[in-house]
């Protein structure tokens, strides 16, 4: 009688989107039948934002309170080695598009694990794919929660017509640049019409690798002057999304 493999799924939740996390859990279950360890490594903000998702998928959030560079990645790597010794998994699945896990992949393989990678399409480099025994990129196709929030707010605020009129074909929804969609997904408050402190927005954008460590967030927003409003005008410290609904 064949014994099913022991599988551990470790998710870099600061690196991939919520729907990619859900796809990764479902794909791993389909391929291997069971997941014995399910953990997601993230900062406190992500843990709160994805609380319902983690609960529904039975994923244990491992909250990292340190703010140092790559601190979440280090926490995942340390935990992975402890689990490799204590749980002796046959298969380790790492959900991340980050190439920094190459040493961890090699060490887990030396411990007898088959190491599979799952990344987010558009964020994964060829150097990342090559280090795993197998790797698959999953497409981020779910509409950002920020866009859904904007849609609900717009529907509530829309004026009611005095009398019924014949329905007209709706004009096609504007197509926003992919970068703008990712900005709204990373800084959810923007999609809700709120003003956000620039330093807060910059921190979120850097976490999603939309902004480099030395880059200026106002410069990024100024690429889309019709979509983002910086205030005050002379020395802005806040940003607000004023554009149309994403398609």
The reply to whether 150 and 77 lie within a common domain is no
Q: Which CATH number belongs to the domain containing residue 56 in this structure?
A: 3.40.50.1010
Length of the chain: 247
The reply to whether 118 and 60 lie within a common domain is yes
The reply to whether 47 and 129 lie within a common domain is yes
The reply to whether 96 and 122 lie within a common domain is yes
pTM for this model (two decimals): 0.58
In angstroms, the CA 247 to CA 245 distance is 6
Q: What is the pLDDT of residues 36-84, one digit of tens each?
A: 999 999 999 999 999 999 999 999 999 988 777 788 999 999 999 999 9
The reply to whether 125 and 28 lie within a common domain is yes
The reply to whether 76 and 183 lie within a common domain is no
**Containing domain of residue 11, as a range?**
7-138
Q: What is the pLDDT of residues 123-164, one digit of tens each?
A: 888 888 889 999 999 998 755 555 555 556 655 665 565 555
The reply to whether 205 and 232 lie within a common domain is yes
The reply to whether 56 and 150 lie within a common domain is no
Q: Are 105 and 131 in contact (CB under 8 A)?
A: yes
The reply to whether 67 and 132 lie within a common domain is yes
In angstroms, the CA 92 to CA 76 distance is 12
The reply to whether 221 and 116 lie within a common domain is no
CB pairs under 8 A, 24+ apart, for 193-196? 193/150, 193/153, 193/240, 193/241, 194/240, 195/231, 195/238, 195/239, 195/240, 196/238, 196/239, 196/240
Q: Which of 66-80, 159-173, 174-188, 227-241 has the lowest mean pLDDT?
A: 159-173
In angstroms, the CA 122 to CA 137 distance is 8
The reply to whether 105 and 150 lie within a common domain is no
**Residue 163 lies inside a defined structural domain of this protein:** no
**Residue 227 lies inside a defined structural domain of this protein:** yes
In angstroms, the CA 3 to CA 20 distance is 29
Cα distances from 230 to residues 56, 79, 123, 226, 241, in angstroms, run 38, 42, 28, 11, 9
Q: What pLDDT does 1 receive?
A: 58
Q: What pLDDT does 140 receive?
A: 84
Closest CA to 95 of 5, 183, 28: 28
**Residue 76 lies inside a defined structural domain of this protein:** yes
How many domains is the chain partitioned into structurally? 2
Position 170 confidence tier, pLDDT thresholds 50, 70, 90: low
**Residue 85 lies inside a defined structural domain of this protein:** yes
The reply to whether 131 and 174 lie within a common domain is no
In angstroms, the CA 96 to CA 98 distance is 5
In angstroms, the CA 210 to CA 183 distance is 8
**Residue 98 lies inside a defined structural domain of this protein:** yes
Enumerate the β-bridge partners of residue 95. Answer: 11, 118
User: Is the pLDDT at 247 greater than 60, yes or no?
Assistant: no
- List strand residue ranges (DSSP E) for 105-227, in order: 114-120, 134-138, 195-197
- List strand residue ranges (DSSP E) for 123-227, in order: 134-138, 195-197
């Amino acid at each position: 009688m064949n014994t099913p493999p022991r599988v551990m799924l470790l998710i870099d939740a600061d690196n991939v989107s919520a729907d990619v996390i859900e796809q990764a859990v479902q794909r791993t279950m389909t391929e291997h039948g069971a997941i014995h360890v399910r953990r997601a490594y993230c900062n406190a903000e992500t843990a709160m934002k994805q609380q319902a998702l983690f609960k529904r998928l039975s994923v244990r959030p491992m909250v990292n309170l340190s703010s140092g560079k790559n601190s979440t990645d280090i926490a995942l790597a340390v935990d992975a080695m402890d689990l490799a010794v204590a749980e002796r998994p046959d298969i380790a699945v790492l959900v991340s598009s980050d190439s920094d896990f190459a040493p961890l992949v090699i060490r887990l393989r030396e411990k007898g694990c088959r190491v599979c990678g799952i990344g987010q399409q558009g964020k994964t480099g060829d150097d990342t794919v090559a280090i795993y025994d197998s790797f698959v990129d999953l497409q981020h196709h779910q509409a950002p929660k920020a866009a859904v929030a904007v849609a609900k707010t717009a529907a509530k605020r829309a004026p009611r017509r005095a009398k019924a009129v014949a329905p007209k074909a709706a004009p096609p929804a504007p197509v926003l640049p992919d970068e703008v969609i990712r900005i709204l997904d990373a800084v959810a408050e923007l999609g809700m019409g709120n003003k956000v402190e620039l330093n807060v927005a910059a921190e979120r954008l850097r976490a999603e690798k939309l902004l480099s460590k030395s880059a200026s967030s106002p410069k990024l927003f100024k690429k889309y002057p019709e979509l983002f409003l910086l205030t005050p005008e002379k020395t802005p410290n806040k940003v607000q999304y004023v554009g149309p609904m994403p398609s």
